[in-house]
Amino acid sequence: MTGIQKAACIGGGVIGGAWAARFLLGGIDVSMYDPHPQAERIVGEVLANAERAYAMLTTAPLPPKGKLTFYKTIEEAVHGADWIQESVPERVDLKRGVLTQIDAAADPKALIGSSTSGIMPTELQRDMKHPERMFVAHPYNPVYLLPLAELVGGTKTSPETLELAKARLAPIGMIGVILKKEIEAFVGDRLLEAVWREGLWLIHDDICDTETLDDVIRYSFGIRWAQMGMFETYRIAGGEAGMRHFLAQFGPCLSWPWTKLTDVVDLDDALVDKIAGQSDAQSGARGIRELERIRDENLVGIMQALKGADGGKGWGAGKILGDFEKHLWAKGGAKKDHLDPSAPLRLIDTKVSPAWVDYNGHMTEHRYLQVFGDTSDALLRLIGVDFAYVEAGHSYYTVETHIRHLGEAKLGTKLYATLQLLSTDDKRIRFFTTIHDAETGDALATAEQLMLHVDSKAGKSVAAPADVLARLAPIAQAHAALPVPEGVGRSVGQKR
């Protein structure tokens, strides 16, 4: 994948700060320009939340975090950047001025994206000298978690620019969707505005309050939209007769009408007070950063669930997450030259994230199995059993596991896992993994496990190929000389 080498963020508010976090956590250095006196604090807080979210999102090896530098001018900030993202307030005159300044100072080959929620790129690129590399890259909040950027070109944008932008977003876990034509507010905000307009009327007319309205969304079609969107959902709602039947049944309702879509509610002081008051009553007990953290935990949970959907292939945003993780593993997984076979292999470094903690206030039991599984996956990648190998039809399956819990891991505890081979043959790998507290080195849990090499299409065990066995052999040989770890061969309840 062709990635971004250096990014510049012009504007570091809600969206610019979150773009910066997406780039930095993707290993890209970021130059930032924002005249706000507290820009560094604000971006720092967004980045802290983003790091917390990534720790929950994935155990795949993130690249070393990029370096964030604040500059006093746009010219300095864009110097050397190959992706420049403009995220200043939504005013056409301001954006046009800033983009023209960026254009004058940037490398002519740099891509220039605007975060605008609705202004057409043709309007924005009007005064630029190199408008062919300017486009809208409209993201969704929080940019560091939600993968979509709508890519929209203006009349002067070259088609190559949009393709290049799409390719450069993939390595940071994003998906660029190229729109066929430019239109104000693009696709997402057209839909959101329609729903929002209707929501404002429902509050204005005292049909419900803000909390009830949010409940209606989050207990019903909000969850549905997160996984299938609108048309695939409605296809199912048409039953066996599908979309045609759905359109025939519900199409006529469009003209009854059920909505006030074309009327714009007057956001006068009374309505603003009413909405703000109801929103304070609904959510005011929590600060914005706290609400952001709750939102992020929920989004991570949804995305992780979707990653395992469709028989493990991944679905929707979960498929994008799965592809991102494959890319991370391919780039950073198990650095072979750092692994010394004369000791148990240190294969995983991780941290106890909030989603891992149970009602006892410590890491819950299935997360231990997850870390053990991630560790054996790392061993497999080391011996050449990677995603391509599995897709080609062979794999190792775990057939037996015995876990012992020896200590507690609380929220935020840094962990690492070491693996020692106990015995191997052409089909089997028996091994012993220890999860350690990274601060003290103490063993917190151990697992003795057995994996079997399989032909996954035939559904039976077969001998592993010679090249895999050849990579396994030197590790097995070196580990045979190590003392047998305490706990090997223990059964449940057995006395020490």
Residues making up the annotated binding site are 11-16
Residue 15 binds ligand NAI (CB under 6 A): yes
Least CB distance from residue 142 to ligand L46V6VHR, whole Å?
8
Report how many residues bind ligand NAI under the rule CB under 6 A: 23
Least CB distance from residue 147 to ligand L46V6VHR, whole Å?
12
Q: Which does 88 bind (CB under 5 to 8 A by kind): ligand L46V6VHR, ligand NAI, none?
A: ligand NAI
Fill in the amino acid letter for 123: E
Q: Which stretch binds ligand NAI (CB under 6 A): 27-35, 170-178, 267-275, 444-452?
A: 27-35
- 153 three-class SS: strand
Q: Which residue is nearest to ligand NAI (CB)?
A: 13
Residue with tokens 């770890």: 485
Per-residue contact string for residues 140-169; x = within reach of ligand L46V6VHR by CB under 6 A: xx----------------------------
**What DSSP character marks residue 363?**
B
Among the listed residues 3, 6, 16, 174, the single contact to ligand NAI using CB under 6 A: 16
Q: Is-contact 303 57, C-beta < 8 A?
A: yes
| Residues 123-152 close enough to bind ligand NAI by CB under 6 A | 138-139, 141
| Length of the chain (residues) | 496
Q: Which does 192 bind (CB under 5 to 8 A by kind): ligand NAI, ligand L46V6VHR, none?
A: ligand L46V6VHR
Q: Which does 36 bind (CB under 5 to 8 A by kind): ligand L46V6VHR, ligand NAI, none?
A: ligand NAI
Q: Which residues pair with 437 in a beta bridge?
A: 415
Residue 214 binds ligand L46V6VHR (CB under 6 A): no
The torsion angle over the Cα atoms of residues 224, 225, 231 and 234, rounded to 10 degrees, is 30
How far apart CA 117 and CA 331 sit, in angstroms, is 33
| Residues 47-106 close enough to bind ligand NAI by CB under 6 A | 87-90, 98
Q: Is-contact 188 151, C-beta < 8 A?
A: no
Q: Which stretch binds ligand NAI (CB under 6 A): 33-41, 291-299, 337-345, 460-468?
A: 33-41
When the beta carbons of 9 and 334 are compared against ligand L46V6VHR, the nearer one is 9
Using N-to-C axis directions, what is the helix angle for 221-228 and 210-218, rounded to 10°? 40
How far apart CA 389 and CA 398 sit, in angstroms, is 16
Q: Which residue is nearest to ligand L46V6VHR (CB)?
A: 117
Among the listed residues 29, 31, 34, 328, the single contact to ligand NAI using CB under 6 A: 34
Q: Shortest CA distance to 59 belongs to which of 370, 399, 468, 483?
A: 370
The residues, any chain, with a CB within 8 Å of residue 158's CB and separated by 6 or more, are 132, 133
Among the listed residues 40, 51, 107, 189, the single contact to ligand L46V6VHR using CB under 6 A: 189
Binding residues for NAD(+): 11-16
Q: Is-contact 444 435, C-beta < 8 A?
A: yes
Q: Is-contact 30 68, C-beta < 8 A?
A: yes
Among the listed residues 22, 32, 33, 424, the single contact to ligand NAI using CB under 6 A: 33
Among the listed residues 117, 161, 418, 420, the single contact to ligand L46V6VHR using CB under 6 A: 117
CB atoms within 10 A of CB 353: 21
Q: Are strands 134-139 and 148-153 parallel, antiparallel or unpaired?
A: antiparallel
Is the peptide bond preceding residue 61 cis, with omega within 30 degrees of 0? no
| Residues 280-319 close enough to bind ligand NAI by CB under 6 A | none
How far apart CA 275 and CA 200 sit, in angstroms, is 8
- 443 three-class SS: strand
Rg of the chain (C-alpha set): 26
Among the listed residues 94, 192, 223, 281, the single contact to ligand L46V6VHR using CB under 6 A: 192
Q: Are strands 443-455 and 460-461 parallel, antiparallel or unpaired?
A: antiparallel
Residue 10 binds ligand NAI (CB under 6 A): yes
Among the listed residues 49, 116, 210, 350, the single contact to ligand NAI using CB under 6 A: 116
Fill in the amino acid letter for 271: L
Residue 343 binds ligand L46V6VHR (CB under 6 A): no
Residues that bind ligand L46V6VHR (CB under 6 A): 117, 140-141, 189, 192
Q: Which residues bind ligand NAI (CB under 6 A)?
A: 10-16, 33-36, 39, 87-90, 98, 115-117, 138-139, 141
